[in-house]
Chain A
Amino acid sequence: MRAVAIRFGRFHTNKRAVLNSGSLATALTCPVGHPGANLRPRSLAGCERVIECKVLNSIDVNYQTQEFPYKRSADQDATTPVRHAVVIVGAGPVGLALAIDLAQRGTKVLVLDDDYRLSTGSRAICFAKRTLEIFDTLGIGDRAVEKGVSWNLGKVFLRDELLYTFNLLPEPAHKRPAFINLQQYYVEGFLNDRARELPNIESRWRNRIVGVENNESGVTLTIETPEGAYKIVADYCIACDGSRSPIRGLIGEESKGQVFKDRFLIADVKMSAPFPTERWFWFDPPFHPNQSVLLHKQPDDVWRIDFQLGWDADPEEEKKPERVMPRVQALLGKDTEFTLEWVSVYTFACTRMRKFRFGRLLFAGDSAHGVSPFGARGANSGIQDANNLGWKLDEVLKGIAHEKLLDSYCAEREFAADENIMNSTRSTDFITPKSEVSRLFRDAALSLAKDHPFARRIVNSGRLSLPSSYPGSSLNTPDEDDWNGGVKPGAPALDAPVSVDGASAWLIDQLASDFTVITLGTASEMVFCDRGLSIVANALASNEWIARYDAQPGTTYLFRPDKHVAARWRAFDGAKVRAAIARARARTGEH
């Protein structure tokens, strides 16, 4: 049995052979100027070269101190505001991910940021498997995984006793682990390095938005700089400007929801400790009674510790080292030496904007939605926002897809935000019970958990980020055949080991940046030929692929450019594939 993958779209994909030959690789130099860097081709996104810059002496860049100077742009001297296809506001993980995605697709992007630095402090540290798969398409997957700490296991303790262990990736044979822990400044640094390789991206630092005029013909932005204000016009503006989004405020919108009455202390400490690379969560530990504590390992011997403090804690007092040090020492024992890397006290809210699209102005990431940190659903959902929007915006700008495809970004990502908020709220209600009876049931579940397996399923220390599915999306072609499992329309691709021309590979890497069809058949069945169609892999079939996709001879899956399943059939039919692609481009009814 053989499976064949074919790619639809605008790109020629025969560059794979050229790059894999190795002859081109030796001619490449490190685009960000790493001395002694060893460059190797890593993967392909469309026909863009995605190269990996691996520094041989493995000296890390200190991304927290990197500065990006303000530079005057010709736009500031223009008599009428200069027009740009896409303006992304905010060079955080979401803005950079979206910029790279668009740039790799051949669309020019202008990125504006009000600062001249990347993230300060480790902030988001847990990056989920789906995010890593997206990072692979953006060209930073290997760097992130090599630098990050991979983990699959979580442990939950009550007082000083282990209640249970959970495995977030119980099924073997996936390219990427369930999670890596990696400081946000590394993620932003890697993304920014990649962005600087791409000529389609222009970044302007210390460019702060002070005015937004959003109408049918475009979004006019007034931008404050060290040399005064200027205006530009965007065909589309994407606000990736964070939880306090100035743009959201400028258009009179809010992100509304539930604020939780609790405070948490984050202490990032540097030490060499014998703890395994697992997520450890304590309810009511002896070293921090009546509250919860979360411990995570990061690279560079840095450990993240979250202490629940309660609502009455004074955030300014709790940040002082003389308050933090004893708390950490109590956890580690009095003989463990450590230094404080970063301290922060936070409260949180589960909020979202009523909609993510306002004509030509769209919101992505924390500006659009916010969750509690338990579950790692903030940065991960923001990266998925970018992944969902990138191809859609690109195809709309190029006239390939209908403009209303952008509405599906809202439908799908608002649905995902609601799901994340629901999970995050449930976790928070368990960790911080809001009433006496809520605490009673919480403690009952914890008390039963050790000897009653069912009660472990009630214990909620955070339901960790899983990729969102879009089962009700208008872009899906509903199943018309019988399936016994597999991957449903709207769900993200499930990875599996496959064989490509006799070599071991991963299914996730076979999916192109355009629409991809994988069918369990022979090439001779691929008689219909759409524009830009080419066969990039033969003999994909593996037992894992067949099992995970409920595949039989003839089984055909159509994947969207963001690697979600658009449609599936028991037999290949070119007309049906074309109709499903039109539907996924919001072009149904035009034919």
Chain B
Amino acid sequence: MNTLNIEPNLKDFDAFYEVLIDSHRDLTTAQSHEMNSKLVLMLANHIGDMNVLRDAMQRARATIS
């Protein structure tokens, strides 16, 4: 059963982070929430593995205090 890969899996994290923040530029918070929702749906479909997705959701949820 596949689980979420929590080891580094991108070549250039600084570049990724810059692109992520840039992609939200000039959006209101509401618009950013909308965009994030769409990103979640798109990436979930791309990952295409329910176990990985469930693992990711559980891990993310566990960090919310």
Contacts and interface: CB of A to CB of B under 8 A. Distances in A.
Contacts of A441: 37, 40-41
A458 B41 contact: yes
Interface string B29-63: 00001100110111001000000000000000000
B45 A447 contact: no
B37 A440 contact: yes
A258 to B, nearest CB: 22
Contacts of A458: 41
A448 B42 contact: yes
Contacts of B34: 440, 443-444, 447
B54 to A, nearest CB: 16
B33 A448 contact: no
A332 interface: no
Nearest to B46: A454
A463 interface: no
A166 to B, nearest CB: 18
A547 interface: no
A454 B40 CA distance: 13
B37 A452 contact: no
Contacts of B42: 448, 452, 454
Contacts of A447: 34, 38
A89 to B, nearest CB: 44
A454 B48 CA distance: 11
Interface string A418-459: 000000000000000000000011011101100010110010
Contacts of B38: 444, 447-448
Contacts of A448: 38, 41-42
A447 B34 CA distance: 10
B33 A454 contact: no
Interface residues of B, number: 8
Contacts of A455: 41, 45
B2 to A, nearest CB: 19
Nearest to A444: B37
A443 B34 CA distance: 8
| Interface majority SS (helix, strand, loop, mixed), chain A | helix
A509 to B, nearest CB: 40
A445 B40 CA distance: 10
Contacts of B40: 441, 444
A455 B46 CA distance: 12
A445 B33 contact: no
Contacts of A440: 33-34, 37
Nearest to B48: A454
Contacts of A445: 41
A525 B61 CA distance: 62
Contacts of B45: 454-455
A19 B41 CA distance: 59
Centre residue among A440, A443, A445, A447 by max chain B CB count within 10 A? A440
A453 to B, nearest CB: 9
B25 to A, nearest CB: 19
B5 to A, nearest CB: 22
Contacts of A454: 41-42, 45
A36 to B, nearest CB: 60
Contacts of B33: 440
Contacts of B37: 440-441, 443-444
A454 B41 CA distance: 9
Nearest to A457: B45
A452 B38 CA distance: 11
A42 B10 CA distance: 67
Contacts of A444: 34, 37-38, 40-41
A113 to B, nearest CB: 47
Interface in A451-475: 452, 454-455, 458
B22 to A, nearest CB: 20
Contacts of B41: 441, 444-445, 448, 454-455, 458
Interface string A280-304: 0000000000000000000000000
Nearest to A440: B37
Nearest to A454: B45
A443 B33 CA distance: 11
A481 B48 CA distance: 31
A441 B40 CA distance: 9
A384 B64 CA distance: 45
A436 to B, nearest CB: 9
A447 B37 CA distance: 11
Contacts of A452: 42
A434 to B, nearest CB: 16
Nearest to A453: B45
Q: Which of A444, A448, A452, A455 has most B Cβ within 10 Å?
A: A444
A407 B43 CA distance: 45
A72 B8 CA distance: 83
A447 B40 CA distance: 14
A452 B42 CA distance: 9
A-B pairs with lowest CB-CB distance, top 6? A444-B37, A454-B45, A444-B38, A440-B37, A441-B37, A444-B41
21 contacts: A440-B37, A441-B40, A441-B41, A443-B34, A443-B37, A444-B34, A444-B37, A444-B38, A444-B40, A444-B41, A447-B34, A447-B38, A448-B38, A448-B41, A448-B42, A452-B42, A454-B42, A454-B45, A455-B41, A455-B45, A458-B41
Interface of A: 440-441, 443-445, 447-448, 452, 454-455, 458
Given A443-B37, A447-B34, A458-B41, 11 more contacts: A440-B33, A441-B41, A443-B34, A444-B34, A444-B40, A447-B38, A448-B38, A448-B41, A454-B42, A455-B41, A455-B45
